[in-house]
Each structure stands twice: as C-alpha cells, then as structure tokens.
Structure 1
Amino acid sequence: MRLLARPHQLPPRTAAGVFLLNSGLSKWSADEETAAGVHGMAVGTYPFLKNIKATRFVKLLCTAEIALGTALLVPVVPSLLAGAGLTAFAGGLLGLYLKTPGMREEDSLRPTQQGIVLAKDVWLLGIGAGLVVEELVHE
C-alpha cells in the first residue's frame, strides 16, 4: 500500500477533508434539540441506532467526521485507506437520501428541495471510490 498520496489526489482529498472536518467541528457543540433531530433522521434509516442516546450519537458522528476529514488532509495516510473510509461514510449518507421519505421525487432519484442537502453527498462517494479504484489499479 502506497504511503504518500499522489500529488493529483491532493485536491479532491483536501476538498472532502475540509468539508468533513468543518462538518464535525460545527456539530461538536450541538444542543439536545439539534442532537435529537440528527439522531432521529439517522434512526429512521438505520433503526439499530435507536439504542444510542442522541447526544452520544452526535459526538460519535462528529468524531468520525473529524477523524475522516483529518485522514484525508494528511497526505501520509494512504489514499486506499482514506478513500475506503470516505466511501463507507458517504454510502451511509446516501442511504439516508435514498431511504428517507421526502428526499426524492416520487419514483425517481432526483432530489426534492429538501433532498438536495443529502443528494449532494454523492460527490464524497465519487471522491472516495476514485481514490480506492486508483490505488487498487496502480498498486
């Protein structure tokens, strides 16, 4: 596994990394109402999360976003590892988009106005998958 990111991987890694790091840091001090909203949306798609307290769930989510964002920003973290983490995380976000009522137009993948917030995360999936595929093909 290649240890250093290739120079052309740095722009997408930076874009995704800064976005995730900001997202995690922004939610870190979420109040109980915000935590309940984030947790409730996640539980609607992933019922196994219902046993986690809302504030704990948000702290775990923030920690994951901060760790993943940092891994993407640090070029010594192998792109295969950072890309796999990003692909998995983005897959979870897109699961919310696909399974939450009202996010998509009926019988379509096209987002509603409310769904754009989640549909845009497809770019994270594209960056993560691109990093993984490149590392597997060029190894």
Structure 2
Amino acid sequence: MASVTAWRSTARQLPLRLTVGTFFLNAGLSKRGADQATAEGLHQFATTTYPFLGKLDAQQFARLLSTGEIAISAALLLPVVPVAVAGAALTAFSAGTLGLYLRTPGMRREGSLRPTEQGTPLAKDVWMLGIGISLVIEGVTKHR
C-alpha cells in the first residue's frame, strides 16, 4: 500500500515539477552565455533591491543566476530529489523575485499590489511561490 501512495504522490507532483522545471531550465540556459549588456542589465536590476549583490561583477552575477536556475530545474525534474527539497529551492528563489517586485519602484501601481505593465513579468512569478509552498507542504506532510 505504501508504494501505491508514493506513486500517487509522485504522479500528483509530476505536472508541477515538469512545468516549472522546464521553465527554469530554459531561463537558466538562456542566461548561460549572457553578453555584457544583458549581464549588466540583470545585475543592475537585482542590485537596486539587493545591494549586497553589488559585490559581484555583472558577468559573475549572470553566471550565478544561470547556475541557480539550472540547479533548481534539476531539483524539480529529477524525481530522486525529495519534493520538500525541490519545493524549498523554488520557494526561496520565487520569494527573491517577488522581493524585486515589491521593492523596485515602478513595478506596482501607486498604493497597490497590482502590477504596472513593467511589473507584470515579476508579479506573475507568484505562481512559482504557490507551487513551491505546495511542494514543501506535500513533502513535509506525506510522511505522517
């Protein structure tokens, strides 16, 4: 009976893990060979909200961002990675992008959480936070 329950849990997670995992893989691979202008744009945007990232040079930041996204995709796509671990990685990353959304001027409409046109690409990442939290909850509660 335990193997049937484990299979159901894995089957239930599969659409979430595949969808978000392939999204992250594409994002990470797209940044892998970022040119100087792209790296500088990514770095400048991130350091506006997270000043400690200014200690990195733009190319180093782009490589680390790319590597992080590829690592998260691997955690999501490889079934040997426990669901709670994959969910925690996704939750942490999406919390960071939502931090950019909440703290960067011009991303939200005045006095509102509603996004501006420029803020929509970051605001939509709230779905990743929801998926990450759901995976963590499933991973934590399925063993009880």
Residue in structure 1 matched with residue 13 of structure 2 by the alignment: 9
The letter of the residue matching 1:134 is E
Distance of 1:16 and 1:107 partners within structure 2: 31
* Deviation at residue 70 of structure 1 after TM alignment: 1.3
Cα-to-partner distance string for 1:48-91 (whole Å, 9 max, x where unaligned): 01010000000000000001111101111100000000000000
Q: Give 1:134 shift.
A: 1.4
Task: Tell me what 2:79 maps to.
Answer: 75
Which of the numbers 96, 100, 113 marks the counterpart of 1:92? 96
- Deviations 1:7-38, CA, capped at 9 Å, x for gaps: 10010011110000000001111111110000
2:3 maps to none
Q: 3-state DSSP class of the match of 2:105?
A: coil
Within the candidate set 45, 50, 56, 1:46 is matched to: 50
Two-structure CA RMSD over aligned residues (Å): 1.3
Of the two, which has the highest radius of gyration? 2
User: How far off is 1:113 after superposition?
Assistant: 0.4
Q: What residue in structure 2 maps to residue 138 of structure 1? A: 142
* Residue of structure 2 equivalent to 1:57: 61
Question: Which amino acid letter does the alignment assign opposite residue 137 of structure 2?
Answer: V
Q: Normalization by structure 2: what TM-score?
A: 0.92
**1:21 lines up with 2:53 in the alignment:** no
Q: Which runs of 5+ in 1 are unaligned?
A: none
**Which structure features the higher share of helix residues?**
2
Question: Which consecutive aligned stretches of 4+ in structure 1 deviate over 4 angstroms post-superposition?
Answer: none
TM-score by length of 1: 0.95
Give, in angstroms, the shift of residue 135 of structure 1: 1.6
Identity rate, percent: 57
Gaps in structure 2 of 5+ consecutive residues: 1-5
Aligned AA (2:49): T
Which one scores higher on RCO, CA 8 angstroms, separation ≥ 6?
A: 1
User: Could you list the per-position Cα deviations for residues 77-116 of structure 1 after superposition, in whole angstroms to 9, with x for gaps in the alignment?
Assistant: 1000000000000000100000010000011110000001
Q: Which residue of 2 aligns with 1:123?
A: 127
